Structure 1
Amino acid sequence: MSRLVADIRVEEELTPRGLPVADILAPKRILLTGVTGFLGAFILEELLRTGEATLHCLVRAATAEEARARVERTLRGYQAWDESYRSRIVVEWGTLEEPLLGLTPERFDELAATIDVIYHCGAKVNFVYPYSALRAANVLGTKEVLRLACRGRAKAVHHMSTIDIFAHGGDRLIAEEEMGDPTGIGDGYSQSKWVAEEMVTTLRDRGLPVVLYRPWIILGHSRTGVTHTTDYSCVLVKGCIQLGAGPANDMALNFMPVDFVSRAVVHLSRQEASFGRTFHFANPRSVDLRDIWQWVVDYGYPFDVIPYEDWCERLRAVDPGNALFPIIPLLSGAFPDEPAPRISTAGTDAALAGTGIECPPMDRELGRKILANLVAIGFLAPPAEVSAAAKQPYAPNVQPV
């Protein structure tokens, strides 16, 4: 805990005081981090689709050419690429894990002189790694973003945080103005995001134009069903399909399509009234875990919904070929009996009123789109293949978990 508290401190010299303010509402040049991630890719696409600015994308790669290819490959993979985007994307070959974002001092200064707005979506996401393994990218990387924002001109920083900075558990309402408490956060990723948000808040209090965004679980695209296969929810569904069973828990889950969040973030980021505020994103309509299992059955997979204790018994027999195998440590307590916290989105709802930007429900139709996309990209085996495999004699692996 003392390490976290020490890391939130930002030296007094890092300040926007006395600096001219960049054109934060009509930017000509924007820097984005995390564009090869799910939300970051769609924020990039939304900025390209609805604006005219040049987009500078910080990308980690072995070469500059590979960095450019990663951006295009990511957008194409998410069905979000348009050839007209090519001329407006400038790839900055760097990384959050190094000083000056891995750029040369000369390039860092050039960006400091020309960038108007920064969307900081980048982070190393891993719920198993300790804080120490994520600190360089998520904490020190955020400080380098703030350093860029406070050099030459004061730039706007749109910081993607997470609801995970709040400890889950207990029937309580988390307000947008509430600050996270690290004492109840158990995983290193959420701890690193708490520290990062605290640093950004410090610079906001020093006068930097800052907006904080805290999304809950993002899954799928409302039109195409594309999603990111590294998401915990997708891995869980895949492993349970391979297992042929899911736990029969009464559990409300909250998922939002990525295009809702990206549209909302970009709209809010262009409003003068947004600066200094924090916005929460959560679906007003949760979905029950049993409904998700029904969508799996309706899609054609051989699947049983069984008591949690029986499911755990089956889980003990999985081998490395099952998608659940690497995340078994995370599954202890993954289906709690206590209710999840309620997330207030009052400020977000009011700011989006009249815009037509609304979160659609996670329903059977969207669930089917997501499953179809996961099959199409090869993440899930087609139901017919799983059915054929299920007819083979069952030979459990009884190694201890």
Structure 2
Amino acid sequence: MTDTDLEQYPDRVAELYKDKTLFITGGTGFVGKVLVEKLLRSCGDLKKILLLVRTKKDKKPQERIREIMNGPLFDMLKKQRGEAIINKVVAIAGDAMLPDLGLSKEDRALIARETDIIFHCAATIRFDEPLKKAVLLNVRGTKLVLDLAKECKKLMLFSHLSTAYCHLHERVLYEKIYPPPADPHRVIQTVEWMNEDVINSITPKILGDFPNTYAFTKALSESLVADEMDNLPVVILRPSIVIPVWKEPIPGWTDNINGPAGLLIGAGKGVIRTMHCNSDRYADYLPVDIGVNAMIVSTWDYLAHG
């Protein structure tokens, strides 16, 4: 089937997002940027995107958004949709690390009143993140976004970006809910009052069989979302190792050297010339544009057939 043949059919996914308001956390991160770009380019008739953004290096949230959208990732979007398309992205000052997400009463009321779909992508993905910070952002942050979702009067779906590596003891990860390694509410309460030095000293014992704070806290945050499935329309997404763009909008685009990207860049520059590998294993990678496409389409699938 050619592209010309495809143009004869209605875009059911884009139609779903028409006139919808989206609230996105983590929209200034690697996956978040690609998600925002794809939504604006392929579902440009959406009403607006409310983006939770921290003030950083004395730059206000809206300034940060403008700076990001001046980057090459958004060139195709502006060429196809016009420069004005970026005005659909509205910065909401806040921080997933803070109590009540650092939102003002006015902004919280705005989100609750207007939001149709939530994409919760905010998280620290560092393996060596201190446990307290990882819990406050990945676990408590998720709880706070879920609390906000319950206030959204028009909410159609809460889409949570988890990871395929949050249940490492499972040899095969099925599309089902697994029990968490600990009670997430008690873990949140503990790190809120306990001194960080003490937490660091007992982190190995708390993690148990988990190799790092990332996998541990993402398992806890996923359980919080699962617990709300009877109260909220929820989708949990578990991508594997996310790597640079495969096809669109810019093949090879990335904004970090996380995961295998650093190795690939080092090899491309000639710094890394050899590597010891197990030829019986496979690379469990997911191009970020494919992952983002799945996020957008899974929303349509849930609402059309769920």
TM-score > 0.5 by shorter chain: yes
Deviation at 1:236, TM superposition (A): 3.3
| Residue 172 of structure 2: aligned partner | 173
- Counterparts of 1:338-349 in structure 2, within 5 Å, are none
Confirm or deny that 1:115 pairs with 2:115. Answer: yes
Aligned to 2:105: 105
Q: Could you tell me whether the CA contact under 8 Å between 1:165 and 1:180 is conserved in 2?
A: no
Matches within 5 A, 1:16-35: 28-35=20-27
User: Are positions 1:202 and 2:232 aligned together?
Assistant: no
RMSD: 2.6
Q: Which residue of 2 aligns with 1:297?
A: none
Query: 1:1-400 residue pairs with structure 2 within 5 A?
Result: 28-51=20-43, 52-62=46-56, 66-77=60-71, 79-81=73-75, 82=78, 83-151=83-151, 153=153, 155=155, 156-167=157-168, 172-179=171-178, 182=181, 184-205=209-230, 207-223=231-247, 224-238=251-265, 241-250=270-279, 251-272=281-302
Give 1:29's aligned amino acid. Answer: T
TM normalised by structure 1 equals 0.57
Q: Conserved in 2, the CA contact under 8 Å of 1:39 and 1:262?
A: yes
Deviation of 1:69 (Å): 3.2
Give the length in aligned residue pairs: 250
Q: With the length of structure 2 as denominator, give the TM-score of the two structures.
A: 0.73
**For residues 26 and 77 of structure 1, do their structure 2 counterparts lie closer, same or farther at Cα, with a shift above 3 Å needed?**
closer
- Name the CA shift for 1:150/1:46 in 2 (closer, same or farther; >3 Å): same
Deviation (angstroms), 1:41: 1.1
SS in 1 for 2:238: strand
Answer yes or no: is the 8 Å Cα contact 1:158–1:213 preserved in 2. Answer: yes
2 CA distance for matches of 1:46 and 1:211?
A: 19
Letter in 2 for 1:41: K
Provide the C-alpha distance between the structure 1 equivalents of 2:136 and 2:257, rounded to a whole number of angstroms. 21
Give secondary structure in 1 for the equivalent of 2:165.
helix
> Deviation at 1:166?
1.6
Partner of 1:311: none
Instruction: Confirm or deny: 8 A CA contact 2:20 2:48 kept in the other structure.
Output: yes
Q: After TM superposition, give the deviation of residue 226 of structure 1 in Å.
A: 0.6
Structure 1: how far apart are the matches of 2:246 and 2:265? Answer: 20
Unpaired runs of at least 5, structure 1: 1-23, 277-401
Q: Is the 8 A contact 2:24 2:52 kept in 1?
A: yes
Runs of at least 4 residues of structure 1 off by over 6 A? none
Question: Contact 2:69/2:86 (CA < 8 Å) preserved in 1?
Answer: no
Q: Which residue of 2 aligns with 1:16?
A: none
1:177 CA displacement: 1.3
- Deviation, 1:106, is 2.6
| Gap regions ≥5 residues in structure 2 | 1-15, 182-207
| Residues 45, 30 of structure 1: alpha-carbon distance in 2 compared, 3 angstrom cutoff | same
Aligned to 1:287: none
Any conservation in 2 of the 1:64–1:91 contact (CA below 8 Å)? no
Q: 1:114 to 1:228 in 2, by over 3 A?
A: same
